[in-house]
Amino acid sequence: MSTMRDVAARAGVSTKTVSRVFNDDPHVLPATRAEVEKAMRELNYVPNVLATTFRAGRASVIGVAVPDIV
């Protein structure tokens, strides 16, 4: 599985730039965005959901405590 570092190396940019492209930051030049997106496709990049959850500071999971199932 490819990492953000792999994408950055392939595109010749920093991991921060890859993150900006992934998060649709409008301050990324179109040519740079195209290179990063191309690298993402070539490497079949899929973001790490666990890392995304930690960064956001919240999980998209709901927990339910049940004292007895019977």
pLDDT at residue 27, rounded to an integer: 95
Report the number of distinct structural domains present in the chain. Answer: 1
Residue 70 domain-assigned? no
13-17: long-range pairs with CB below 8 Å, 24+: none
pLDDT at residue 33, rounded to an integer: 97
Q: What is the pLDDT of residues 31-63, one digit of tens each?
A: 999 999 999 999 999 887 766 666 556 656 677
pLDDT at residue 41, rounded to an integer: 95
Q: 43: domain range?
A: 4-56
pLDDT at residue 2, rounded to an integer: 87
Q: What is the pLDDT of residues 7-35, one digit of tens each?
A: 999 999 999 999 999 889 999 999 999 99
Residue 41 domain-assigned? yes
